[in-house]
Amino acid sequence: MQKASEGKQLEAMPCLQSDTISVRNKSILDESAVENTGNELVSIGCMPQMINGICFQNDDLIDNHLFSKSYGHTLRCRAADDIITDQEVQSLSKLGLTVIQMLLKEGNFAKIYQAIHESGTDIIIKRSLIDGQSFAELESLKLFGNQITHKNIVRFFGYHHFGHHIYMFIEYANYGDLAEYLWRWCDSKDLNETTIYEIFSQICSGVEYMHLNGYAHRDLKLQNVLVFDIKNEDSLVYKLCDFGSSRRTLLQTDGSIKLSTTIVGSLRTMAPEVAICEYNPIVADIYSLGVILYQLTHSGYYPFDLSPSVCSIKQKIKIITQMKMSFNSLIIKSSVSKHLNDMLVRLLDPISSTRITLKQVMSHPWFLSKH
């Protein structure tokens, strides 16, 4: 894929719209139980370099005991309520970090800043309040984001604690997230299936690594895949990021995965069962992969979308879930090959028990034909 062109307006792109929600009691589904977090965070910058011998982590400041004692294990997110202060900048400078862009992106969960380490490495600082969301992401980053884990998961350099905020340091994606990259690159043109495979296979590889290590991502979407142009790599590299919704997949006494009950993720990309019943988060991730694949084959458009006139979160959940379950409104372009068409239909199967598995995806005729 070629480098994205600069300057294109992004607001109208369907894949850039991202309504992330969290509902703890799905039996009532009222607006008071729903959190709408708006657009997700984007990181764009220069190619990251290795940080050798640098450790920002301070486990004695924020460990399980301190977190449980001081803040409790709430799963609700709180907004990073203010911009970074001079005192915080000074605290970061003691770690060899210089903030060079005061506010790169802003969301309800966190704020993103561009910084450079004294070694010359460009990094992202993700600043948020200490709560269940940030703690969950920190746990996943510490497990998956170190230098020796997986090339399709974003690198994690460490974290820092100051006051009621936590700062997570991750690598800087020089092409931004996949939603923006595709909008700049596609320019109303369809990707060919070889390019689609290059992207999708790497995303699947990262998800497979998480699943094999006992974690579900639970918010897979284009905005949570970062795009890198890495030296000595023949093509672009795609990496999973934003693990604030991820959860460990606990096993029950019979060996089955403990089902999740919280509605979490993004309306357009989460599996339909997430909104209506207990669900297996691993299987739900597969549906979200289907949405990503559909967007790659349909210029960023979602397989099921909502009218802008639908304002209530309760209405949005109800309508889009009905659309996903009916499956009648799914339209796949005639230009899509037979095998890819079959893959899409099986990934977007509204019945979780008959949905294709990730192992079957990677052995599917379309997948093997591009390998």
CATH number at residue 66: 3.30.200.20
SS3 content of the chain, % helix, strand, coil (to 5): 35, 20, 50
What percentage of the chain has pLDDT greater than the value 90? 34
Choice among 69-83, 177-191, 205-219, 282-296 with the minimum mean pLDDT: 69-83
Residue type, position 22, single letter: S
- Find the mean pLDDT for residues 202-230: 93
Angle between helices 193-212 and 281-297 (to 10 degrees): 170
Give me the mean pLDDT over the 68-78 stretch. 30
Tell me the sheet residues that pair with 113: 125
> Tokens 């609700």 label which residue?
76
CA distance 234 to 122: 22
On whether both 153 and 204 belong to a single domain, the answer is no
35 assigned to some structural domain = no
Is 39 part of any domain? no
Tell whether 2 is covered by a domain: no
Average pLDDT over residues 200-212: 96
38-42, 119-123, 143-147, 181-185: segment of lowest average pLDDT: 38-42
Given a cut of 80, is residue 99 above it in pLDDT?
yes
Last residue of a domain, one of 139, 171, 203: 171
Residue 15 belongs to some domain of the structure: no
Between 295 and 184, the more confident residue is 295
The count of other CB atoms within 10 Å of the CB of residue 1 is 17
Q: Are residues 157 and 273 in the same domain?
A: no
Residue range 251-272: average pLDDT?
A: 88
Residues 328 and 289 in one domain: yes
Q: Which of 171, 202, 230 is the last residue of a domain?
A: 171
Regarding whether 353 and 231 lie in a shared domain, the answer is yes
Of 155, 295, 227, the closest CA to residue 3 belongs to 227
Distances (CA, A) of 142 to 59, 69, 134, 239: 11, 21, 12, 16
If asked whether residues 112 and 194 sit together in one domain, one would say no
Residue 62 structure tokens? 């924020």
- Clarify whether residues 197 and 345 are in a common domain: yes
CB 286 within 8 A of CB 203: no
Mean pLDDT of 30-45: 33
Expressed as residue numbers, the domain containing 362 is: 178-370
The domain tally of the chain equals 2
CATH number of the domain that residue 239 is part of:
1.10.510.10
- pLDDT reading at 29 higher than 70: no
Residues 164 and 253 occupy one common structural domain: no
Per the model's pLDDT, the better-predicted residue between 313 and 271 turns out to be 271
Position 5 in a domain: no
Give this prediction's pTM.
0.78
Helix (H) or strand (E) holding 177: none
Taking residue 263's Cβ as centre, other Cβ atoms within 10 Å add up to 23
Residues 194 and 320 in one domain: yes
What average pLDDT is seen over the chain? 77
Q: Which of 150, 171, 192 is the last residue of a domain?
A: 171
Do 254 and 313 fall within a single domain?
Answer: yes
- pLDDT at residue 166 tops 90: no
Whether residue 182 is found in the same domain as residue 166? no
Higher pLDDT, 22 or 266: 266
pLDDT at res. 105: 65
Going by the DSSP 8-state scheme, the letter that residue 356 receives in this structure is P
Q: What confidence tier does 340 reach under pLDDT thresholds 50, 70, 90?
A: very high
The 8-class DSSP code of residue 260 comes to: B
* Banded model confidence at residue 104, pLDDT cuts 50, 70, 90: low
Q: What per-residue confidence (pLDDT) applies to 34?
A: 39
In a domain, 89, yes or no: yes
Q: Do both 167 and 182 map to the same domain?
A: no
Do 107 and 166 share a domain, yes or no?
yes
Q: Looking at the domain assignment, is residue 22 inside a domain?
A: no
The token pair that represents 278 in the structure block = 């207990």
**Range among 106-120, 198-212, 221-235 rated most confident:** 198-212
The H-or-E segment that residue 58 falls in is none
